């Protein structure tokens, strides 16, 4: 049975230093703010509840935030998916964001973002940013529903008719990668990411000594730089010969080799005209980007692990990268992402938002609405929506001929069937990245 907001806050504050007088003053202030900032022609809208809903139709740990309002039946959905730490995000939403946001205005998205962002004082981490993203995107969804418009209209309207995607082609050897890439080209994709095996192509390395030595766990993954670095130029050569020049090729180094090895690799791959090479360095090695830039004109994409502006501002304003690739929920939602897009536009850096399976359909829709509205859109990582996922999230964007299309419903246009979502609880494994080691057991990132 749900409790009234007032009772919930009273319970929450019981035993805290904050007294009931202060709490009631807080409520009065929130009420006054709601009345002062009501959208003209519309009654003030308040947040009545913020909930986290975890579901896993495809074994990926999705977290969606539902924001309910003082208008019966009017709610918004936002993506807060952090596949490796979903339980921590759920706790952050329910124990902190919900009591913080209740009774505050649902209209003033920027104000909410700024205050929720600093309400923990210490900020910019992935757990709190994902929780904040859930709230933020949900408020944009509500804003669209109130306006009777898709979110891309609120952002200024369309710059293009649909969102160009890239697909993931992979295989254990070049011919398998070719077959996989060819199947995507036949489906209409013009951009294909090519990978051999898992990131770093560990299957090309010999049996690692750390396992025989009993170091780490037998399930720990393995890769060595040498075989991977030798294989990638051969893969690009094979795919260019097999599929010609019309297709755009992408590749993700996934920060798995030493920086100087990555520089050698990017220089070698430049002649195959990649669309971009992604994550040549770990975020902790951002200082290598100017060194790389001086040596090659190969387009570089970076940023899926970024959490905050300290990590991207220098890379963009110094023109050291070509594509910014953040995960929208990881940086705190649509509000910071649209500012990032504007910053990047001034430096001719294009977008390539992170969009694999560990983004909910609400998050994919948010990516697509922003992609449609910004001039400096580059490319979108292509999602895959299983039939199960489409049932749980009615209104999923649609993939046609290598493009992503959003529907024209108000807001993000994606709903959540909570009853069905509950049939797919999170898997027992609470989420972690399997350790990757070099031959002697040294940990690789990641």
Catalytic positions: 199, 254
Which residue lies nearer to Mg ion by CB, 85 or 251?
251
Q: 265 pairs with which residues across the strands?
A: none
CB of 381 to Mg ion, least distance (A): 8
Q: List residues binding Mg ion (CB under 5 A).
A: 252, 304
Strand arrangement of the beta sheet that strand 443-444 belongs to: 221-222, 436-437, 443-444
Which residue lies nearer to Mg ion by CB, 178 or 252?
252
Q: Are 303 and 320 in contact (CB under 8 A)?
A: no
Which residue lies nearer to Mg ion by CB, 90 or 253?
253
Residue 325 phi/psi, 5° resolution? -130, 40
CB of 294 to Mg ion, least distance (A): 24
Which residue lies nearer to Mg ion by CB, 252 or 322?
252
Which residue lies nearer to Mg ion by CB, 136 or 304?
304
Q: Are 197 and 223 in contact (CB under 8 A)?
A: no
Q: How many CB atoms lie within 10 A of CB 73?
A: 7
CB of 434 to Mg ion, least distance (A): 16
> What is residue 346's DSSP assignment?
T
C-alpha closest to that of 261 among 297, 303, 229, 301? 229
Q: 105 pairs with which residues across the strands?
A: 46
C-alpha closest to that of 203 among 224, 175, 179? 224
CB closest to Mg ion, residue no: 252
Which residue lies nearer to Mg ion by CB, 309 or 356?
356
Which residue lies nearer to Mg ion by CB, 60 or 109?
60
CB of 82 to Mg ion, least distance (A): 16
Q: CA neighbours within 13 Å on the CB side: how many for 152?
A: 24
- Structure tokens belonging to residue 57: 């139709």
Which residue lies nearer to Mg ion by CB, 210 or 323?
323
C-alpha closest to that of 140 among 103, 102, 105, 109? 109
Alpha helix locations (H) across 270-386? 289-293, 309-317, 334-345, 361-373
- Structure tokens belonging to residue 14: 């019981």
The single residue listed with the structure tokens 């609880």 is 425
CB of 81 to Mg ion, least distance (A): 16
CB of 199 to Mg ion, least distance (A): 8
Q: Which letter, b or e, does each residue of 147-175 get, where b requires 16 or more Cβ atoms within 10 Å of its Cβ?
A: eebbbbbbbeeeeeebbbbbbbbebebbe
C-alpha closest to that of 93 among 36, 151, 132? 132
- Residues 299 and 331: their CA atoms lie apart, in Å, by 23
Give Cβ neighbours of residue 32 (< 8 Å, ≥ 6 apart): none
* Alpha-carbon radius of gyration of the chain: 23
Q: Are 192 and 185 in contact (CB under 8 A)?
A: yes
CB of 380 to Mg ion, least distance (A): 13
CB of 267 to Mg ion, least distance (A): 20
């Amino acid at each position: 049975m749900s409790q009234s907001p007032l009772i919930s806050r009273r319970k929450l504050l019981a035993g805290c230093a904050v007294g009931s007088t202060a709490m009631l003053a807080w409520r009065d202030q929130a009420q006054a703010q709601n009345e002062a900032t009501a959208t003209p022609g519309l009654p003030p809208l308040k947040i009545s509840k913020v909930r986290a809903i975890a579901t896993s139709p495809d074994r990926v740990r999705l977290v969606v935030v539902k924001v309910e309002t003082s208008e019966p039946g009017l709610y918004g959905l936002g993506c807060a998916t952090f596949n490796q730490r979903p339980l921590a995000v759920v706790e952050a939403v329910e124990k902190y964001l919900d009591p913080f946001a209740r009774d505050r205005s649902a209209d003033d998205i920027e104000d909410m973002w700024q205050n929720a962002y600093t309400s923990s004082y210490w900020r910019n981490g992935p757990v709190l940013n994902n929780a904040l993203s859930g709230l933020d995107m949900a408020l944009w969804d509500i804003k669209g529903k109130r306006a009777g418009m898709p979110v891309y209209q609120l952002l200024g309207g369309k710059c293009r008719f649909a969102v160009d995607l890239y697909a993931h082609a992979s295989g254990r050897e070049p011919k398998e990668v070719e077959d996989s890439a060819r199947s995507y080209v036949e489906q209409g994709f013009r951009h294909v990411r090519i990978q051999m095996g898992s990131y770093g192509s560990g299957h090309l390395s010999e049996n690692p000594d750390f396992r025989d030595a009993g170091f780490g766990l037998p399930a720990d993954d393995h890769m060595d730089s040498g075989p991977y670095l030798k294989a990638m130029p051969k893969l690009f050569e094979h795919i260019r010969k097999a599929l010609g020049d019309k297709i755009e090729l992408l590749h993700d180094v996934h920060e798995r080799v030493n920086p100087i090895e990555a520089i050698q690799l990017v220089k070698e791959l430049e002649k195959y005209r990649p669309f971009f090479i992604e994550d040549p360095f770990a975020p902790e090695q951002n200082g290598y980007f100017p060194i790389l830039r001086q040596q090659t004109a190969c387009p570089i994409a970076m940023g899926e692990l970024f959490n905050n502006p300290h990590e991207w501002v220098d890379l963009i304003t110094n023109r050291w990268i070509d594509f910014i690739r953040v995960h929208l929920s990881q940086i705190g939602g649509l509000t910071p992402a649209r500012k990032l897009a504007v910053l990047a536009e001034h430096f001719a850096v294009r977008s390539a938002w992170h969009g694999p399976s560990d983004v909910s359909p609400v998050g994919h829709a948010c990516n697509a609405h922003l992609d449609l509205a910004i001039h400096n859109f580059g490319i979108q990582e292509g999602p895959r929506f299983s039939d199960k996922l489409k049932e749980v999230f009615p209104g999923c964007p649609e993939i046609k001929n290598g493009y992503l299309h959003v529907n024209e419903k108000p807001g993000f246009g994606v709903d959540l069937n909570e009853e069905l979502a509950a049939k797919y609880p999170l898997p027992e494994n609470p989420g972690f990245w399997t350790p990757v080691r070099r031959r002697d057991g040294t940990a690789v990132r990641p």
